Amino acid sequence: MTQYKNKLSSNDEIKSQFPIFDKNEIVYLDSAASSQKPFSVIESINEVYANNYANIHRGVYKLSQTATDMHENAREIVKKFINASSVKEIIFVRGATEAINLVASSVAEMNVSPGDEIILSRLEHHSNIVPWQIMAKKNKAVIKVAEADENGDVSFESIFKNVTSKTKIISITHISNAIGSILPVKDICKEAKSRGILTLIDGCQAAPLLEVDVQDIDCDFYVFSGHKTYGPTGIGVLYGRENILAEAPPYQGGGDMIDKVTFEETTYAGLPSKFEAGTPNIVGAIGLGSALKWMQDIGINNIYEHSKKVINEGINILEDIDGLTIIGKPKHRGGVISFTYKDIHSHDLGTLLNSYNIAVRTGHHCAQPTMQRYNVSSTVRASVGYYNNKEDFEALAEGILKVSKVFENV
């Protein structure tokens, strides 16, 4: 295993910010599932629990006010990170999955009547399929799918080919978690807006990688998860246009989201509280704020340029391996490469790679319709974060060749 340790040296400066790499000799190529956490994020979480922790919003004492300020400061950081126009548009949720469920069951349910249509793309994560199916079933709405082409691209035309006068919502991913395609979300949102169609962008794979400007994209909703943006688990963001969220019914009822409660009637708090019932993930939000600040300090463009370079190097390295097939060759790619190798099952390949300390994800990546489109039941997925480098892909290639030898000897 020491051979990999030596290979990490060129990237030591960046890796040294991530304590996990001190404790584990690992080639970590699974950031699309969850990214590792820099010291600053871990420290900020420890700091709140050790020095500043109390429940927020309702406390009159100093500690509660400090924790409230830290929590609300995190909301301000998120607002700036995605260039929302107001903190009222930033709802803290458990993650992208909860954000999409919230929109599907609150905003959308209100806007969708029997026979209305919702457009998704072929490349969606199950989290951007199933909530819409549940809602469509209740509201007797119809789900339509914009196809991806053989390269893995979902074009503007593919989306709008499906649009009719009944289309109410287009909900699509910014970057496919399964094969890495970047979708032309800005063009799609602009056209949708001109036709009065609501748009939701699943930014799970984009927020850790690209400069996201929700006003420039002009979407109605944008969602992402903290744990993929170098932050903690259990926290995520729903951005929603203020006028739409203000009209929408609450998603869950409970403390914090009310104005006045009697047994006869309840009136609701304003935004964003109306959508944040119960004690929130206080420390998670603060940790997310630190993560986004860490990204901003590095420079989102630097993160993107670095990841793009590493991904391109990774593609060159993997393409040279006989019997390896990269699934999808999209025009623009995020931090993900999916592939199959000979007829070795992805789980066998991933398990053997693990024995060489290489962490990749295997399976359908919660995107079974994507797998169906490309006639595979599963793939191996290598995905990058800011801490990865070319050497990680060289180690992966070396690992794959070792696996091949294991199979030759069977």
228, 186, 321: which is closest to 41 by C-alpha? 228
The stretch among 10-18, 67-75, 93-101, 323-331 that binds ligand PLP (CB under 6 A) is 93-101
Counting contacts by CB under 6 A, is residue 97 touching ligand PLP? yes
Minimum CB distance to ligand PLP, residue 287 (Å): 15
Q: State the residue for tokens 């047994």.
A: 263
* CA atoms of 35 and 126, how far apart (whole Å): 20
Token readout for 197 is: 């169609």
Counting contacts by CB under 6 A, is residue 152 touching ligand PLP? no
36, 3, 39, 12: which is closest to 357 by C-alpha? 3
Counting contacts by CB under 6 A, is residue 127 touching ligand PLP? yes
Token readout for 393 is: 């892909």
Minimum CB distance to ligand PLP, residue 192 (Å): 19
Choose between 4 and 222: whose C-beta lies nearer to ligand PLP.
222
The site map against ligand PLP for 105-124 (x = CB under 6 A) is --------------------
Minimum CB distance to ligand PLP, residue 10 (Å): 28
Choose between 127 and 139: whose C-beta lies nearer to ligand PLP.
127
Q: How many residues does the chain have?
A: 410
Minimum CB distance to ligand PLP, residue 249 (Å): 22
Minimum CB distance to ligand PLP, residue 102 (Å): 12
Phi-psi region of 328 (alpha: psi -120 to 50; beta: other; left: phi over 0): left
Are residues 118 and 168 in contact, defined by beta-carbon separation less than 8 angstroms?
yes
Counting contacts by CB under 6 A, is residue 202 touching ligand PLP? yes
Are residues 227 and 95 in contact, defined by beta-carbon separation less than 8 angstroms?
yes
* CA atoms of 32 and 227, how far apart (whole Å): 10
Choose between 206 and 344: whose C-beta lies nearer to ligand PLP.
206
Are residues 239 and 90 in contact, defined by beta-carbon separation less than 8 angstroms?
yes
Pick the binder of ligand PLP from 204, 209, 311, 352 (CB under 6 A). 204
Bridge partner residues of 28 (DSSP): 359
State the DSSP H helix or E strand holding residue 239, giving kind and residue range, or none if neither: strand 236-240
- Give yes or no: 366 in active site: yes
The C-alpha R_g of the chain, in whole angstroms, comes to 22
Counting contacts by CB under 6 A, is residue 225 touching ligand PLP? yes
Query: Of residues 189, 204, 219, 366, which has the active-site annotation?
Result: 366
Counting contacts by CB under 6 A, is residue 125 touching ligand PLP? yes
List the catalytic residues: 366
The footprint of ligand PLP (CB under 6 A) covers: 95-97, 125, 127-128, 173, 177, 202, 204-205, 225, 366
